[in-house]
Amino acid sequence: MLAGAEGQAAKKAMEIVVALGKIYEAEELVPVASVQVAGVSYGNLGQAGLEFIQEWAEQGARTRVPTTLNPAGMDLEAWRELGIPEEYARPQVEVIEAYTAMGIAPSCSCTPYLVGSVPRLGEHIAWSESSAVSYANSVLGARTNREGGPSALAAAITGRTAKYGLHLEENRQANHLIEVKCAVESVADFGALGYIVGRRVRDGVPDFRLNRYFKPGEEDLKALGAAMAASGAVALYHVEDVTPEAKMGKVLANDARSIAIEGLDEGYEALDGVAEEINLVWIGCPHASLLEIEEVATLLDGRKVKAQLWVTAARGVLITARARGLVDRIEACGGKVVADACPIGAPLQEMGFESVATNSGKGAFYLLSHLGLQVRFGPLSRCIEAAVKGRWPG
């Protein structure tokens, strides 16, 4: 491939894989079972990014392993109803077309593991999208580095990645002990905890001891990992008695790398602002599970929303939620379940949104730091109250 025997597109992809291997002193390449490609939202890619992907596709780039896509900046079917401007939608569709020409499934979700791409324990994969990387490594026990968009695409085209970093057993051991002494009971709490720990450990591997009375569910773990990946660069964490590799490299309680978390105020103070009026309530960062969509429908309880309410989810999850009547219940209240999209890549300000409420630590972090919007951050029940009243509940 490197010599060009399989064409120009594969040669370019292998050059990227080999260059990364040299930089990180990898001794060999390893086959990957699946790839998740980021760099999909036109808002982030821009015209130069779109042309880069189109050129690679035209050179004949084709994937060799099952490959899924990160969210776009809009629902690919219902973008008009959401008020997405036509001049944004057109190039966004071209991005998806270029990727599908390479054989990539237009899954457009940051939770590929909720719609069929579920790596096995110990399996080597090459995923981009920091929250998906964290979930795959930590909760599923697969092995991936935090790939960038081009390096993930190169791995998809070659079917291989360089074996370094988190592909190696020795780098998967915990190097920080996080003793959580306070209650952590909701997705928002796990987001606040993730924000605090991400800032402290940066790209380390934290090992959590949680309060024994609360066992985190999948939704809590995805919120925790997403927030740590956003405020720091955590790509792997362990939770005692919960995650599959939690027994690796125990850090002792009296070790200097032991951190006690006495409360979550630091996280809430950093992520929750002061806006009273709320234009948009966003649930589903990372993309919502069926359970989370059901919780939204139940909390709405037939009431009409005043603010816009978007629940973002993978299209496969949306289809199941629709079949169970959950989407109808949310739509009857004026809310929307939005597929394919991440609002961070959407033109929110151009659409007139100024203040957004969310229960996602990662979502709040990016709304504040990347989009400069006013943000309220709190548990799902408060977010739904904000959607109904158009104001953050006092």
- Contacting positions for ligand F3S (CB under 6 A): 70-71, 110, 129, 131, 226, 285-287, 312, 342, 344, 362-363, 366
Q: How far is the CB of 49 from ligand F3S (least distance, A)?
A: 16
Going by C-beta distance under 8 Å and a sequence separation of 6 or more, which residues neighbour residue 363? 282, 285, 343, 344
Q: Report how far residue 370's alpha carbon sits from residue 338's, in angstroms, rounded to the nearest whole number.
A: 21
Which CB atom, from 61 or from 364, has the smaller least distance to ligand F3S?
A: 364
Q: Report how far residue 306's alpha carbon sits from residue 196's, in angstroms, rounded to the nearest whole number.
A: 32
Helices (H), 102-129: none
Q: How far is the CB of 141 from ligand F3S (least distance, A)?
A: 20
Q: How far is the CB of 229 from ligand F3S (least distance, A)?
A: 9
How much of the chain is in helix, strand and coil states, percent to nearest 5?
A: 40, 15, 45
Q: Report how far residue 1's alpha carbon sits from residue 192's, in angstroms, rounded to the nearest whole number.
A: 46
Q: Report how far residue 133's alpha carbon sits from residue 164's, in angstroms, rounded to the nearest whole number.
A: 15
Q: Report how far residue 321's alpha carbon sits from residue 219's, in angstroms, rounded to the nearest whole number.
A: 16
Which CB atom, from 151 or from 358, has the smaller least distance to ligand F3S?
A: 358
Which CB atom, from 111 or from 158, has the smaller least distance to ligand F3S?
A: 111
Tokens 């690919």 belong to which residue?
Answer: 76
Q: How far is the CB of 299 from ligand F3S (least distance, A)?
A: 20
Which CB atom, from 21 or from 286, has the smaller least distance to ligand F3S?
A: 286
Which CB atom, from 30 or from 78, has the smaller least distance to ligand F3S?
A: 78
Q: How far is the CB of 344 from ligand F3S (least distance, A)?
A: 5
Q: Are 152 and 37 in contact, with CB atoms under 8 Å apart?
A: yes
Q: Report how far residue 355's alpha carbon sits from residue 167's, in angstroms, rounded to the nearest whole number.
A: 41
Q: How far is the CB of 36 from ligand F3S (least distance, A)?
A: 11
The pair of three-digit structure tokens given for residue 10, joined into one six-digit string: 């594969």
Which CB atom, from 285 or from 368, has the smaller least distance to ligand F3S?
A: 285
Which CB atom, from 110 or from 337, has the smaller least distance to ligand F3S?
A: 110
Q: How far is the CB of 346 from ligand F3S (least distance, A)?
A: 10
Q: Are 175 and 59 in contact, with CB atoms under 8 Å apart?
A: no
